[in-house]
Amino acid sequence: MAVTGGMVRRQRQLLLLLTGGVLLLLGLLLVYSSYTVRRRPVPISEPVCRPQINIAFLKTHKCASTTVQNILFRFGLRHNLTFVLPRQGNYLGRREPFRAELVRHLPWHPLGYNILAVHNRWDHGQVASVMPANTTFVTALRDPEAVFRSMYAYVEHDRFMPLDEFLEQEPIPEERFFHVLGRNQMLWDLGLPEERLTDPEAIGRLVADTERRFHLVMLAERMDESLVLLKHLLCWRTEDVVGLRLNALRPEARDHLSQRGRLRLRRWLAGDYQLYNHFRRVFERRVAEFGEERMRREVAELRAANERAFQECGMVSSQGTSLSPDFAMFSQRVTGFQPRNRTRDCEELARPELSFVELLRERQLQMARDVMGVTPHPSRTAAGEMTRRV
């Protein structure tokens, strides 16, 4: 029994020694791993985000596009970018699709271009020929009934004939207001020939081409969500897509339209509905892929940023033509804004299209005069991007 008891004691001692050794080893490993984690260097290949600076935006009529244009103009100014601009006015052609010859002989053409955001009838090949190879293409659509009703009120055609009466004519007149605005406006803006605006097969081909060529088709009715998608597409910050609802029709200017008139108008705009309904489905898929909860958070963040900018600038909204010259809108029927805080950022946030285009044109003309003494422009770099860590 003594021998057996001694053996048991030795076994217990050996077990205690082994247990202590294991615990000591584990402790040393824990200390070492903690030390190495703290000292591990940040990998050189840290994820980077490259904000895009080359953007072509098809500014469709009455699709909240002035808001997007203002966002692009302000971003371009902050980053010393250049713009595709007409010699005068705010249209690069009116009746005919865009042609590169419209800008190739302008004094600022040698500077190269980063951003196109003025009205034109789209010709993708011609636009691409004056833009860098890595350009991001974007446009916006809206329910066609809302587009036409907004246009009709904007040009004040209801002073001569109520919209219901206009739609009772047989056939409904096809002549475009100011040779630009009329039936199936979004198809017209996208460059579909006049004689094809009611041809379902031609419209189907245009829809397919648009989906293939444009990186994002926004929806005016869901502009906050659209701007969140644009922010991520361009790798911008929330502050970069802050904006006001510029050039929006005032509530009291909206027309009354009977149910019969609405049905007749929607049938008359069947071509635009073929386009719009397709991209509404595409938009829904984009939002679902982005994540609905994530979208809700980012929309709330954008709206809060918009409200901060509005308050910090002391924005005053008013009838468009009643504002001071720098902020007056084209029509008395739309809402304009004027900041009490007259900082450059606040003034640019409220600046209407015509005033902004003129400001950019004067700036770009001066850049052209100075071109021989400036460093290479961002649009001529290989990547056409800026780098920002996220």
How many C-beta neighbours within 10 Å does residue 149 have?
A: 21
DSSP state for residue 322 in the 8-state scheme: G
Task: Give dist(CA 2, CA 347) in Å, integer.
Answer: 99
Question: How would DSSP label each residue in 139-201?
Answer: EEE--HHHHHHHHHHHTTGGGTS-HHHHHHSSSPP-PPBTTTB-TTHHHHHTT--GGGTT-HH
Closest CA to 312 of 347, 351, 359, 355: 347
Per-residue model confidence as pLDDT tens digits over 270-289: 999 999 999 999 999 999 99
Per-residue model confidence as pLDDT tens digits over 291-330: 999 999 999 999 999 999 999 999 998 865 678 888 888 7
Q: Tell me, what's the pLDDT at 167? A: 97
Per-residue model confidence as pLDDT tens digits over 206-216: 999 999 999 99
Cα–Cα distance list, 202 to 140, 191, 208, 380 (Å): 20, 11, 10, 37
Task: Give dist(CA 182, CA 175) in Å, integer.
Answer: 7
Place of tokens 């919209």: 163
Q: Is 314 part of a structural domain of the chain?
A: no
Q: Is 201 part of a structural domain of the chain?
A: yes
Closest CA to 120 of 71, 191, 219, 68: 191
Q: Is 69 part of a structural domain of the chain?
A: yes
Cα–Cα distance list, 83 to 138, 288, 321 (Å): 15, 34, 27
Average confidence score pLDDT of the chain? 87
On the question of pLDDT at 122 being above 60, the answer is yes
Question: Residues 82-103: what's their mean pLDDT?
Answer: 95
Residue 157 tokens, joined: 């055609």
Q: Is 44 part of a structural domain of the chain?
A: no
Reported pTM: 0.84
- Give yes or no for a contact between 82 and 114, defined as CB atoms under 8 angstroms apart: yes
CATH code for the domain in which residue 260 is found: 3.40.50.300
Q: What's the sign of the alpha-carbon dihedral 47, 53, 55, 60?
A: positive
Q: Tell me, what's the pLDDT at 373? A: 52
Give the distance, in angstroms, between the CA of residue 3 and the centroid of all CA atoms in the same chain.
89
Task: Give dist(CA 379, CA 362) in Å, integer.
Answer: 19
Per-residue model confidence as pLDDT tens digits over 236-246: 999 999 999 99
User: Any idea of the CA torsion for 10, 14, 20, 24, to the nearest 10 degrees?
Assistant: 150
- Give yes or no for a contact between 182 and 175, defined as CB atoms under 8 angstroms apart: yes
Q: What's the sign of the alpha-carbon dihedral 216, 248, 128, 386?
A: negative
How many C-beta neighbours within 10 Å does residue 165 have?
A: 11
Task: Give dist(CA 118, CA 85) in Å, integer.
Answer: 7
Q: Is 81 part of a structural domain of the chain?
A: yes
Place of tokens 């001071």: 324
Q: Is 281 part of a structural domain of the chain?
A: yes
How many structural domains comprise the chain? Answer: 1
Q: Is 136 part of a structural domain of the chain?
A: yes
The CA R_g of the chain, rounded to the nearest whole Å, is 30
- Give yes or no for a contact between 107 and 372, defined as CB atoms under 8 angstroms apart: no
Task: Give dist(CA 351, CA 353) in Å, integer.
Answer: 7
Residues spanned by the domain of 216: 54-244+256-290+357-372
Closest CA to 350 of 247, 252, 253: 247
Q: Is 282 part of a structural domain of the chain?
A: yes
